[in-house]
């Protein structure tokens, strides 16, 4: 991409701008912010765009500004110190080196808002894993899609309904580069797509010392429809979906081969990616191996993570589509149609259609779920693949998800943690004195930062509402529903996630009059912020947004319910850092893990959640609250009634009184004890550092040395 001409003294700004290392290093973000704070905001914290906006005079002035040069030199020093891998965790693992990288295939990656190629939790986790792989020094490469139109932008209409718009990415203002091969030319791979050939190129994203390669079908030689194949995430059209997954799996393997990359381990992140194993088998068969030999060789160094605890969440393609797109492919594997179909089915062929998760489970040697409960659910769900074993012996382990702390922790809290826990704390979460050190944090210092972060969130919410009003794009009651009446000193609860039925976003409204009494208490008020998107084709979930949005207009709530539009990584940072309580109430056994509550806890925000996913492991009775422990999950209405009652009681008897119990300096000491317990208990156990080290020991090493 075009590189901005810069004064020689600061010419390495280009290098840092095109390496997303800056996205989780405060010294780099401070550097770009110092160039022009207003433009930094207008550019949506994108240094590539920022540099394109700045005038030559402004840059020349910066190159002679002693204060800016101090920031510049400090950032460059930090960058250069991080780039070598000789001082990393992986470098210290003598005798356990990989001959090639881990190839991590994922349908989406959430790295930063300047590269909107993600939809939700799966992408957030994938992005956090890649960043942590860099921090640990793991040899690692990511493979996904470019998605130039990304996921949709959300707008709520006057009537309270979600509307979707798509925005084309400006490649010249994104932190990406065309991907050259070792010979210097641009790689172009081709994939048979039924009756035609589809071509694809790749873009490269620098992420510290590792690279992410993103496939793009918008190349000459493709039909107009094929050029748009990789434009958007998660199309509802089944035929487009199978085409995307063919390109991701088969095309991804061919792209790594074109780049001269020879992985040691192949990691399939969810079943969408599992055609990669078929392409690797085909390649070995073309080199002389039998199908059986190739199958076992590929299986040996392939690992798989499943994220979905309900059958409907797994991709299953009808046999007609498999016949259309693979009739000319399975002969190259050395097998017939029945054998091919059996790869995506139970041995007794009891599954209707070709199941991508079954394909992943059959072609991988190590499989994991993403929490302890999800592991149990997955072993039950896929027991049919191992009918001769007891359910508890089904070989699906669990490695509970974590989050990348430098990405999600507020800079103000990072400084506080460094003061009390020491510099480099995010690289040594497990040191024995962590809990005591967190509990020693002065209440006033922590409370001052928590107050500031809430105020920052409320300013953001008000700014969004004011912008809509100023642009004449909202009526008065809509502005109220967007949080225009919110107060910066009121207990603030956050509910932000993908809107879908099993997450029960409207559960807290089950007894509206009771909730109004809780919220409108003049001495101890409460306000609730909702945010989240529904899939464009999921109309029942869109109704949930409509329901919450309409309730937010109800005068009985006194303007203390808000729905924030267009939930993305940018909005998420304000929410997980700025609310006081993180609310999560999914239907039991339908939340695989969840990570948003982890992000909140890292910022001193206690979790209020059903004991499902990660919270069943994280809750210790002192670091937050558990919703409705004993309910009949076979009766949804009974479950809803019991959980809603539990939420109301927890708010009335525990959350609200504790938050507003203050000393003469207006400090809520009992509340801060809970907040500090959340920090101390969640940081070491639910970070990507712990998670990825577990992947290394339990998944990657065994796959390399089988």
- Per DSSP (E only), the strands in 375-483 are 396-398
SS3 content of the chain, % helix, strand, coil (to 5): 50, 15, 40
**For residue 420, how many other CB atoms are within 10 A of its CB?**
15
Q: Read off the pLDDT of each residue in 653-682 and give the average, rounded to a whole number.
A: 98
At what angle are helices 411-421 and 443-470 packed, to 10 degrees? Answer: 170
Residue 643 has pLDDT above 80, yes or no: yes
340-394 pLDDT, tens digit per residue, is 999 999 988 888 899 999 999 999 999 999 999 999 999 999 999 999 999 999 9
Report yes or no: 592 and 308 within 8 Å, Cβ to Cβ: yes
Residue 375: what pLDDT? 97
Q: What span, in angstroms and rounded, lies between the C-alpha atoms of 628 and 614?
A: 16
pTM of the model: 0.96
Residue 422: what pLDDT? 86
SS3 307: coil
Residue 245: what pLDDT? 97
Angle at 237 between CA 233 and CA 239, to 5 degrees: 105
Residue 147 has pLDDT above 80, yes or no: yes
Banded pLDDT at 182 (limits 50, 70, 90) = low
580-592 pLDDT, tens digit per residue, is 999 999 999 999 9
Task: Give the residue carrying structure tokens 């790749």.
Answer: 202
Q: What span, in angstroms and rounded, lies between the C-alpha atoms of 508 and 516?
A: 11
**For residue 233, how many other CB atoms are within 10 A of its CB?**
21
432-450 pLDDT, tens digit per residue, is 788 999 999 999 999 999 9
Report yes or no: 333 and 278 within 8 Å, Cβ to Cβ: yes
Report yes or no: 587 and 507 within 8 Å, Cβ to Cβ: no
454-463 pLDDT, tens digit per residue, is 999 999 999 9
- Which of 79-88, 468-477, 542-551 is predicted with the least confidence, judged by mean pLDDT? 468-477
Residue 184: what pLDDT? 61
Q: What span, in angstroms and rounded, lies between the C-alpha atoms of 90 and 208?
A: 15
Q: What span, in angstroms and rounded, lies between the C-alpha atoms of 344 and 613?
A: 27
End-to-end CA distance of the chain, in Å?
42
What residues contact residue 503 under an 8 Å CB cut-off, 6+ apart? Answer: 497, 585, 586, 587, 591
485-527 pLDDT, tens digit per residue, is 999 999 999 999 999 999 999 999 999 999 999 999 999 999 9
Nearest Cα to Cα of residue 615 among 631, 598, 639: 598
Q: What is the mean pLDDT of the chain?
A: 94
Q: What span, in angstroms and rounded, lies between the C-alpha atoms of 376 and 374?
A: 5
Banded pLDDT at 183 (limits 50, 70, 90) = low
In the DSSP assignment, the letter for residue 249 is I
Residue 1: what pLDDT? 54
Report yes or no: 669 and 441 within 8 Å, Cβ to Cβ: no
- Which of 374-388, 414-428, 490-504, 565-579 is predicted with the least confidence, judged by mean pLDDT? 414-428
Q: Read off the pLDDT of each residue in 664-679 and give the average, rounded to a whole number.
A: 98
Structure tokens at 168: 């084309």
At what angle are helices 636-650 and 512-519 packed, to 10 degrees? Answer: 20
Nearest Cα to Cα of residue 347 among 362, 337, 331: 362
Structure tokens at 257: 């081969």
SS3 153: strand
User: Residue 550 burial (CB < 10 Å; 0-12/13-18/19+)?
Assistant: middle
Residue 504: what pLDDT? 96
591-636 pLDDT, tens digit per residue, is 999 999 999 999 999 999 999 999 999 999 999 999 997 666 788 9
């Amino acid at each position: 991409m075009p590189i901005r001409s810069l004064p020689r003294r600061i010419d390495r700004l280009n290098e840092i701008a095109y390496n997303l290392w800056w996205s989780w290093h405060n010294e780099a973000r401070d550097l770009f912010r110092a160039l022009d704070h207003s433009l930094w905001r207008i550019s949506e914290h994108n240094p590539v765009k920022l540099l394109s906006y700045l005038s030559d005079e402004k840059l020349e002035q910066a190159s002679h500004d002693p204060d800016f040069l101090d920031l510049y030199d400090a950032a460059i020093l930090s960058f250069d110190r991080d780039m070598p891998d000789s001082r990393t965790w992986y470098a210290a693992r003598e005798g356990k080196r990989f001959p090639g990288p881990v190839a991590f295939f994922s349908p989406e990656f959430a790295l930063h808002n300047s590269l909107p190629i993600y939809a939700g939790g799966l992408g957030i986790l994938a992005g956090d894993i890649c960043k942590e792989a860099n921090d640990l020094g793991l040899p690692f490469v990511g493979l996904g899609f470019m998605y130039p139109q990304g996921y949709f932008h959300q707008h709520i209409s006057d009537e309270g309904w979600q509307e979707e718009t798509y925005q084309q990415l400006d490649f010249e203002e994104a932190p990406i580069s065309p991907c050259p091969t070792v010979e210097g030319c641009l790689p172009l791979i081709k994939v048979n797509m039924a009756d035609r050939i589809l071509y694809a190129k790749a873009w490269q994203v620098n992420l510290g010392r590792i690279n992410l390669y993103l496939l793009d079908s918008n190349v000459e030689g493709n039909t107009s429809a094929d050029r748009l194949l990789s434009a958007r995430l998660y199309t509802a059209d089944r035929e487009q979906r199978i085409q995307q997954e063919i390109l991701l799996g088969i095309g991804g393997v061919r792209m790594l081969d074109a780049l001269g990359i020879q992985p040691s381990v192949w990691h399939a992140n969810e079943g969408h990616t599992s055609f990669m194993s078929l392409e690797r088998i085909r390649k070995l068969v073309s080199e002389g191996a039998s199908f059986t030999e190739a199958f076992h060789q590929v299986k040996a160094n392939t690992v798989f993570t499943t994220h979905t605890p309900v059958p409907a969440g797994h991709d299953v393609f009808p046999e007609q589509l498999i016949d259309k797109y693979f009739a000319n492919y399975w002969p190259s594997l050395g097998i017939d149609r029945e054998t091919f179909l059996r790869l995506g089915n139970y041995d007794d062929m009891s599954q209707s259609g070709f199941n991508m998760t079954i394909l992943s489970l059959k072609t991988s040697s190590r499989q994991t779920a993403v929490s302890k409960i999800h592991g149990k659910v997955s072993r039950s769900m896929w027991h049919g693949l191992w009918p001769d074993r007891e359910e508890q012996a089904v070989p699906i382990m669990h490695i509970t998800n974590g989050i990348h702390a430098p990405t999600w922790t507020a800079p103000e809290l990072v400084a506080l943690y460094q003061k009390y826990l020491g510099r480099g704390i995010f690289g040594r979460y497990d040191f024995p004195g962590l809990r005591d050190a967190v509990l020693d944090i002065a209440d006033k210092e922590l409370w001052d930062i928590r107050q500031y972060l809430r105020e920052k969130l409320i300013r953001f919410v008000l700014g969004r509402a004011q912008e809509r009003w100023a642009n004449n794009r909202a009526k008065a009651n809509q502005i109220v529903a967007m949080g225009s009446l919110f107060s910066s000193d009121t207990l603030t609860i956050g509910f932000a996630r993908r809107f879908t039925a099993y997450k029960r976003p409207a559960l807290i409204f089950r007894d509206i009059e009771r909730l109004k009494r809780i919220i409108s208490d003049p001495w101890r008020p409460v306000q609730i912020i909702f945010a989240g998107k529904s899939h464009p084709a999921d109309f029942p979930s869109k109704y949930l947004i409509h329901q919450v949005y309409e309730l937010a207009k109800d005068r009985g709530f006194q303007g203390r319910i808000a729905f924030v539009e267009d939930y993305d990584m940018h909005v998420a940072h304000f929410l997980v850092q700025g609310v006081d309580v993180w609310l999560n109430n999914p239907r039991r056994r339908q939340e695989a893990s969840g990570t948003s509550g982890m992000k909140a806890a890292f910022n001193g925000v206690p979790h209020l959640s059903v004991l499902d996913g990660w919270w069943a492991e994280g809750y210790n009775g002192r670091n937050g609250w558990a919703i409705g422990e004993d309910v009949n999950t076979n009766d949804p209405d009974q479950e809803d009634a019991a959980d809603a009652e539990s939420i109301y009681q927890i708010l009335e008897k525990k959350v609200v009184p504790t938050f507003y119990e203050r000393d003469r300096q207006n400090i809520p000491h009992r509340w801060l004890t809970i907040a500090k317990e959340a920090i101390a208990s969640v940081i070491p156990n639910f970070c990507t550092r712990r998670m990825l080290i577990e992947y290394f020991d339990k998944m990657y090493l065994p796959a390399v040395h089988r």
